[in-house]
Amino acid sequence: MRVTGLASGLDVDQVVKDSMKPYRIKVDQTKQKRDIVEMKQQLYRDVLKDSKDFYNKHFDVSKQDSLLKSKNWGTTKFESTDSGAVSVEGLAGGKADNYNVSVTQLASKATTTLITEHMKEGGSFTLQMEGNPMPTPITIGDITADELKDLSKLAERVNKKLLDDKIDVTVKYSEFSNGLVFESGSMGTGTVDKPNKFKITGLGSDKDGAAIPNLIAEGKNATATITNSRGEIRTIDGNSNKVVYDGVEFSFNDTTLVGEPPSAKNVRITGKTDTKATVDKIVLLVNDYNVLMEKLNKMTSEKRNKNYMPLSEDQKKDMSESEVKLWNEKTKQGQLSRDPDITGIANKMKEAMRSMQGASISLESIGIKPVKDYQSKNGTFTVDVDKLTKALESNSEEVMNIIIGNPPEGTPENEKASKTGAFRRLKAVLYDETVTATSSLIKKVGIEGSASFSNNDLTRSIEQYNKKMADLEKDFARREQSLYSKYSKLEVMMNKYNSQQSMMTQQMGG
């Protein structure tokens, strides 16, 4: 119970509070230091989040429309009169042209089905691959009742044998086909010495005693003709249903056979130049890059106003909610001024966005021009859409190379970066600095959704401040209690003296 100083006439609470001010200042200063570390950590994490969002939006190669995929640099669009049979896609460098395409056969794998009725308990069969020399056949024997009841178990045994013997055939149970479907791993007819062909023999006889014929599986080549607008003809006979000529990819989805007897009709392909989708993606990436770069520039160039320090709880009591919010914003400003981590990332991003050395064109020559502002917009770019469009129309492959190109094979390690496209270099910088768990900044501040969130340098520093604050609070409470105890004793003594004085006054007649 705290005394009020009735006997001494002292305002004990105020006296103790005044006496404890130096110790309260120590506690508050430690809290301020902790709060500043927390602010910096959050600011760093905001950078990491913005960077990762940018990275995922533009550099995630799992996205079909990623600019890092060369197929998305095609500026020629094609329309097909029968896309169910033939579809066409313009790749980087592909020119607009019109084509007539006919498909008489699709490329396929060698496949056959061993139906349930042709298997019996204790039975067997042999798979023989064609070739020169003839590969060793494999025999699957002693089919069990359990395997007949659940053919997926038999398929599992067959696949293990095929894998062990390095035979490029797989088996799966098909309820629809009512049996085991055998399929080669490759398409087409194969080669003379190694044809894509196999047979299944030794099936015995059916329930009526008739011999079950051998099953023959043989891959087929795609056969088609492509005629361009100049009347030039390409005859296709290959193991793929896709072919590429002059930057144009033709996909054969079905035959074009019609009538009886069947004849191959022509599918009409019409091409036209259309750079809009590619231009839009580039402009969006550059604009988002500018936003991120301006944020980094602002963070590292803002001056710190030391008059704004984190508020203590007592200070907050005397302020409105809006005043506290405004004060906190002022406190955050400049916390990362000239910060080496953020400055380093920004400088590496700027370096990445330089034009490739030795290239015949530059970013500026295709309309991506650096902004001449050495303050907040330092390292940002403007895009001349007309200039970029013309560059893509005249040579989309060259534009693609300057932006996402890879160095030629055999390039020395110390020259690879300078011979890599700007956006691809930017991707590497952001990955190394702000995405991968081995990033020094992530190790320093942690990132949400990973173990580093609670295991990082700044969190450990915050924990040390918390421990120091707890020790200071204990020391503060001990000192405060000691003072109250002293003033309590003073009150007791004053009460005693006052009582004695009162008695003496009475004895002396008032």
Task: Name residues whose C-beta falls within 8 Å of residue 379's C-beta, 6 or more positions apart in sequence.
Answer: 293, 297, 346, 349, 350, 353, 370
Tokens encoding 258: 């019609």
Please tell me the distance from the alpha carbon of residue 399 to that of residue 381, in angstroms, as a whole number: 17
pLDDT tens string, the chain, 510 residues long: the values are 444 554 455 677 787 777 768 888 888 899 999 999 999 999 999 999 999 999 999 999 999 889 998 888 888 899 999 999 999 999 888 888 999 999 999 999 999 999 999 999 999 999 999 999 999 999 999 999 999 999 999 999 999 999 999 999 999 999 999 999 999 999 999 999 999 999 999 998 888 888 999 999 999 999 999 999 999 999 999 999 999 999 999 999 999 999 988 999 999 999 998 899 999 999 999 999 999 999 999 999 999 998 999 998 889 988 999 999 999 999 999 999 999 999 999 999 999 998 887 778 899 999 999 998 777 899 999 999 999 999 998 888 899 999 999 988 888 988 888 889 999 999 999 999 999 999 999 999 998 888 899 999 999 999 999 999 999 889 888 888 888 778 777 766 766 776 666 777 776 765
The answer, as to whether pTM is greater than 0.95, is no
Please tell me the distance from the alpha carbon of residue 463 to that of residue 468, in angstroms, as a whole number: 9
The residues facing 28 across adjacent strands are: none
| Domains of the chain: residue spans and CATH | 26-64+277-457 (no CATH), 76-106+222-273 (no CATH), 109-218 (2.60.40)
If you count them, how many residues does the chain have? Answer: 510
The strand order across the sheet containing 86-90 reads 86-90, 248-252, 242-245
Task: Name residues whose C-beta falls within 8 Å of residue 207's C-beta, 6 or more positions apart in sequence.
Answer: 117
Please tell me the distance from the alpha carbon of residue 276 to that of residue 282, in angstroms, as a whole number: 10
